[in-house]
Chain A
Amino acid sequence: MQEVHVMGQYSQLAVGDIYTFLEACGVTLLVTLVSLVLGTLLGTALGLVRCSKNKIISSLPLIIMEPLRNSPLVVQLFLVYYGLPMVFGILLDAYPAAILTLSLNTAAFFAVLVHNSITAIPVSQWEAGYALGHGKASTFVNVIFRQALRLLIPQAITLYINQLQCSSMISLISLRDICRIGQLVSVRTMQPFLVWGIVFALYYVISFPLARLASYLEKRVNFSY
């Protein structure tokens, strides 16, 4: 690997930097993907509990969701990485701290999407299911959830893109993700426009196709009740 920063001397962008950036993409994608998977699972669970008819049960997930949705991700990250060890003596490495924070944050937003998609399906669809002899669970699985999923997927992709970009925060706890490597290489080469241009391009190349996919899927959903 190219030495990233040598004190007192600047060096040109080199072939070795390509590998460094590729490794950094690996870090960004690893942390983001693991967090999105965990966040989606937890968010689905929270979102389903939000749909409960019992008002007390349905508001329980808000206890976790509201703080996560109403504070900056970077603050949550510092709280977990620097705060937990001080108060609870839980010392997390940078990776687990990053993944834990990003997963919880994703879960909070994902739960809202799940809840909204399910409640967006009109009551008449439930009744049509019941009237054919489906029970509650069967109506949910075969009628409601499959429609809700189509509303959910494009919004979920948009959330995922946003979380990918927010994952750049993990550079602040010195994980060597794309953004962190951008900082280091930019300082070493003194070519910030070029280096940040590369960083920009890397995020863009991953995000843009996903964004197109989301808007394509959104247009395909043409339910009118």
Chain B
Amino acid sequence: MAMIEVKNITKSYGDHTVLKDFSVDFDQSGVTVILGPSGTGKSTLLRCINGLEKTNSGDILVDGLSVNDKKNLKQIRMTCGMVFQHTVIFPHLNVMENLIMSPMKILKTPKGEAIDKARYYLKKVGLESKEKSMHNELSGGEQQRIAIARALMMNPKALLLDEITSALDPEMTREVQNVLESLAADGVCMLCVTHEMSFARDVASRILFLDGGSIVCDAPKDEFFGKIRQENDRINKFLSFIGE
């Protein structure tokens, strides 16, 4: 059984259908990069998986739990940590408090233990010196790395990352990608929407290409950048368009 099973979901906003009878599975392994033109439903897919959006029909199972049952949402959201395009550090808390608040409130982790764990993850994202900083003392890239560390504090089995570098300049993008690469090397499972092709090339194991609310291509990375790119005009055009 796959960790995430998306089964024939349909998702519409008003009369605009974004995902139509959409199905896909994700195992708890490797890095899946989700590509596709903007407005095609990539964010919608991730938001449906952790129940931030309700689907109109179909079902999504995360570790066998259905997102359609409200009781499961808490567990599902802890299983799938999410980081958004626009950083959401809690501005009333400093970095350390941002990290330990949820484990202490939800997992009932004792404070000392939570702090040790937070220091471990802060080191992982290269920000061990920022424990006391507030959000306005951090660059955009630092905030995203904090958000990644904060998600990891809940022991997720997978990270859902929605264009987390697209609001960053190239240097900060590099910093965040280095963190993701080191997490990938540790075997953290990630579903990653991105337009950074270097990241897709270097880190992805699987590429999912969406267009018009459905899957155009679902293939291992090498196949995608090799054979499929040559044969599929639409994908070739997309990759050329974004400068690959």
Q: Residues of A at under 8 Å CB distance from B?
A: 124-125, 127-128, 130-135, 138, 142-143, 146-147, 150, 222-225
Give the residue name and chain of the A residue nearest to B78 (CB). A133
- Inter-chain CA distance A147–B98, complex, in Å, is 13
Instruction: Identify which of B81, B101, B135 contacts A142 (C-beta below 8 A).
Output: B101
Q: 8 nearest interchain CB pairs?
A: A128-B88, A223-B91, A131-B82, A133-B78, A132-B102, A133-B77, A146-B92, A147-B92
| Known A-B contacts A127-B84, A142-B101; A132 and B106 likewise in contact (beta carbons under 8 Å) | yes
CB < 8 Å: which of B50, B75, B101, B135 contacts A131? Answer: B50
- A133 contacts which chain B residues (CB < 8 A)? 74-75, 77-78, 102, 106, 154
A125-B90, A131-B82, A135-B74 known; 15 other A-B pairs, CB under 8 Å? A124-B88, A125-B88, A127-B52, A128-B90, A131-B151, A132-B77, A132-B106, A132-B151, A133-B78, A133-B106, A133-B154, A146-B92, A223-B91, A224-B91, A224-B136
Chain B residues with CB under 8 Å of chain A are 50-52, 73-75, 77-78, 81-82, 84, 86, 88, 90-92, 101-102, 105-106, 135-136, 150-151, 154
- The A contact surface, by secondary structure, is helix
Name which residue of chain A comes closest to B51, CB basis: A130
Report A-chain residues with C-beta under 8 Å of the C-beta of B75: 133
CA distance A225 to B81 in the complex (A): 21
- Chain B residues in 8 Å Cβ range of A127: 52, 84, 88
Chain B: minimal CB distance from A193 (Å): 49
Q: Is the CB of B136 within 8 A of A131?
A: no
CB distance from B74 to the nearest CB of A (A): 5
Q: Determine the chain B residues whose CB is within 8 A of the CB of A223 once the complex forms.
A: 91-92, 135
**Which chain A positions have C-beta within 8 A of B135?**
223
Nearest residue (CB) in A for B160 is A131
- Using CB atoms, name the residue of chain B closest to A224: B136
By a CB distance below 8 angstroms, the chain A residues around B74 are 133-135
